[in-house]
Amino acid sequence: MNQWDNRSSKALTRRQLLSGVGSAVVVTTAGCLTEDDEVSFPLGVQLEVDTDNSDRLEWTAAIAQMMESTGYFEVDVEEHDFDDFLERVFEDDYPQYGHVPFLSLSGTFNPESYCDSLHGTANRGQCCNLNGLGYDELDELIDRARFGTDVADDPQLRERRYDEVWHELAEFRGSSIITFLTEEYVRRAAVRGFSPYPFSEWTLKYALHSPSEEALTWVDRNAQRPAETDWSDYQEGGTLRYGIGANISSFDPPYSTDTHSVAAQSLIFEGLTTMDAEGNIYPWLAKRYEALDVQDIDRRAYEPYMTTVPTDEKGVLEFGEGGPVQAVAVHPDDDRIDDDEARVLTPEGAADAVDEGVYGMQYRYHLQEGVAFHNGEELTADHVVSTVERYENSDMSSQTFDSVLHVDAVDEYTVDIYAQVPDAEAERELPGFEIHALEQAELGANEIDPLEGEAPIGTGPYEFEEFEDGQYFVATKNDGYWLEENGLDTLEWYDGPDGFPAGPVIDEIDIDIISDDSTRSAALQNGEIDVTFGLVSSTLNEYDSDDGYIVDSVQSGGYQFFQYPVTVEPWDDHRLRKAVNHLVPREQIVDEVLDGWGEPAWTMLPELAHGTGTADYDALESELREKNEFDPDAAVELIKEVIEDRGYDSSVQQ
């Protein structure tokens, strides 16, 4: 067994990080145990990763090499194309395989999105809890930090409670965060005014036109070199060619979890509100909104409106004939896995509760009038209600109905959205859906699909034009865009300069799908695309020093991570998970693999969301860093404890 000297670990080179990977012979069932299998060490482990970014492949290989170097693991790295990878990890049976998937998370400005989406039990099988992470006590900690009048009224209490969450996650260690993302966009000089957003899925929409911060992108094909400029120099017309690294797998918002699909949809669909690059919220399809009422209740208040539903051995609710019904809320005293049944609040019960005045919060949204969908429909409250109904039992249902209780049309242009309980994040979370046309609101799962003749219809500044699966997507300017028709004065909050355009000024957006990094980089150099992101880190310095290109870097709200199969032995022992976490050379990955384009992650909370997520970000990082340091000696000691305490066989030389 190799012994490690932590004093020299900082000097690991790129060659050392990547050498020796895959040298062990791994059986095909590595990491996938059945009830009859006996755990023994060295342990077969299957790491799984998508191939859309070679940087991720390299640091996955680096972690695999560190695991194998202890002598306690035989590691196989299995690579999948991005679409195949997504389909695979979202299979219902994926948790029982015992594999370790490597993923990226793009969160929000809310701290909740960095803990609940990965570790909340209600999100099992959805983005991004793929391996059955979480437990009741952790759910309660997360809820206590977000829900209730105490944290809604007291931001400092909320911050302290989120600190409890981050410490608990560091002990549970259901996932290991590798690096915080910085997103680098490389563009040709012809692209002017482009401003990236902290979340890549919203950058294209934000950069094209954002009145809140006077962000505007235009194309000047005569430009040969970057130049100082602002929005007042803009030119109308032209085509922007935007390169992305993976396919647009869906044009159906409630059934989309990947950033590339959301980026394409953002040109077409819009929501009730929008945000600037610092997370400030502005009305959008709603011209204004206000909180009308807050009631100090918990979910037990809905017990009279609940119905009892049988559950299967996996905790799935069995509604019987007629198919699944959205579980708006489950009684907090019921356990869907341990019990044979659970008390559930359905949409019908939620409506009854609201009618009788039982709800946590009431927000009222006053809609813009004269907003036309691409098919000519005029936006009304019915569109909002129908949209929320379509989110029921979708891939986004857990994230929608963790807060939303019920939506009610007050009149033609007014809608009330009710929260289940007082929610400190309600202002941002309640309107978190893309508004559908009535023509498509009754469609089934994944049926907004241009490949099946059902092109997406929204209110956005661009309309669907053409899509070739795995090749390209074309969107063209919406000549009847509501904001241009009504003028910027319709945005009651707008106080920017006169003359700022009321919509994007580029006529056509061509999104080219080029999965290979080097091919996408060549397309940029050859003028086949104008801007792209996600290029290999080793090429960014070259672009940054080239006068013909601009590299825009933004601190992202996302991170790279891998997730342990906590329901499969021996990964159900948190000490083994902690051990592997100590085998992650975070600083070396940033320095040697990412060439400095990134930041080691010592806590699950990116600095972007720290304002309401911790009482003291520097103190939190300092306290948790020790638990995430590269420390192979500590890892080996933890593995030995697991083997001895559980009586596992081991042929590893001590």
Which numeric CATH code is attached to 286-438?
3.90.76.10
- At 183 the pLDDT is 87
What whole-number distance in Å separates Cα of residue 301 and Cα of residue 303? 6
Q: Residue 595's CB: how many other CB atoms inside 10 A?
A: 16
Assign 3-state DSSP to the chain and report helix, strand, coil percentages, each to 5. Answer: 35, 25, 45
**For 440-484, what is each residue's pLDDT tens digit?**
999 999 999 999 999 999 999 999 999 999 999 999 999 999 999
Lowest mean pLDDT among 20-34, 183-197, 253-267: 20-34
Lowest mean pLDDT among 2-16, 226-240, 440-454: 2-16
Contact 122, 402 (CB under 8 A): yes
Stated length of the chain? 654
Contact 393, 501 (CB under 8 A): no
**For 584-605, what is each residue's pLDDT tens digit?**
999 999 998 888 888 899 999 9
- At 30 the pLDDT is 32
The residue among 516, 558, 539, 512 whose CA lies nearest residue 200 is 558
Cα–chain center distance at 236: 33
**For 29-51, what is each residue's pLDDT tens digit?**
233 444 446 899 999 999 999 88
**Domains 189-280+458-552 and 286-438 in one fold:** no
Q: Residue 393's CB: how many other CB atoms inside 10 A?
A: 15
- At 654 the pLDDT is 66
What whole-number distance in Å separates Cα of residue 218 and Cα of residue 231? 9
User: What number is the average pLDDT over the span 531-535?
Assistant: 93
Residue 320's pLDDT band, with cuts at 50, 70 and 90, is: confident
Q: Residue 11's CB: how many other CB atoms inside 10 A?
A: 8
- At 130 the pLDDT is 84
Mean pLDDT of the chain: 90
- At 314 the pLDDT is 74
Q: Residue 646's CB: how many other CB atoms inside 10 A?
A: 13
Highest mean pLDDT: which of 324-328, 417-421, 648-652? 417-421
What whole-number distance in Å separates Cα of residue 223 and Cα of residue 108? 35
Q: What is the DSSP string of 415-438?
A: EEEEESS-BTTHHHHTT-SPPPPH
- At 18 the pLDDT is 38
- At 3 the pLDDT is 29
The torsion region of residue 134 among left (phi > 0), alpha (psi -120 to 50) and beta comes to left
What whole-number distance in Å separates Cα of residue 401 and Cα of residue 397? 6
Residue 422: phi and psi, rounded to 5, are -55, 130
User: What number is the average pLDDT over the span 143-160?
Assistant: 95
Contact 153, 140 (CB under 8 A): no
Q: What percent of the chain has pLDDT over 70?
A: 94
Determine the 3-state secondary structure of 508 from DSSP: strand
What whole-number distance in Å separates Cα of residue 79 and Cα of residue 59? 13
Q: How are beta strands 100-106 and 73-80 bridged, if at all?
A: unpaired
- At 637 the pLDDT is 97
What whole-number distance in Å separates Cα of residue 374 and Cα of residue 462? 9
pTM of structure: 0.84
**For 403-427, what is each residue's pLDDT tens digit?**
999 999 999 999 999 999 999 999 9
User: What number is the average pLDDT over the span 313-320?
Assistant: 82
- At 526 the pLDDT is 96
Tokens in use for 470?
A: 């795995």
Higher pLDDT, 37 or 369: 369
- At 609 the pLDDT is 83
Number of C-alpha atoms within 13 angstroms, CB side, residue 220? 17
User: What number is the average pLDDT over the span 189-211?
Assistant: 95
Residue 41: phi and psi, rounded to 5, are -120, 140
- CATH architecture observed for domain 189-280+458-552: 3-Layer(aba) Sandwich (3.40)
User: What number is the average pLDDT over the span 375-390?
Assistant: 98
Give Rg (Cα) of the chain: 25
User: What number is the average pLDDT over the span 263-282?
Assistant: 96
Higher pLDDT, 475 or 518: 475
- Going from N- to C-terminal start, the domains of the chain cover 189-280+458-552, 286-438
- At 178 the pLDDT is 94
Tokens in use for 296?
A: 């100090």
7 has a pLDDT exceeding 50: no
Higher pLDDT, 389 or 5: 389
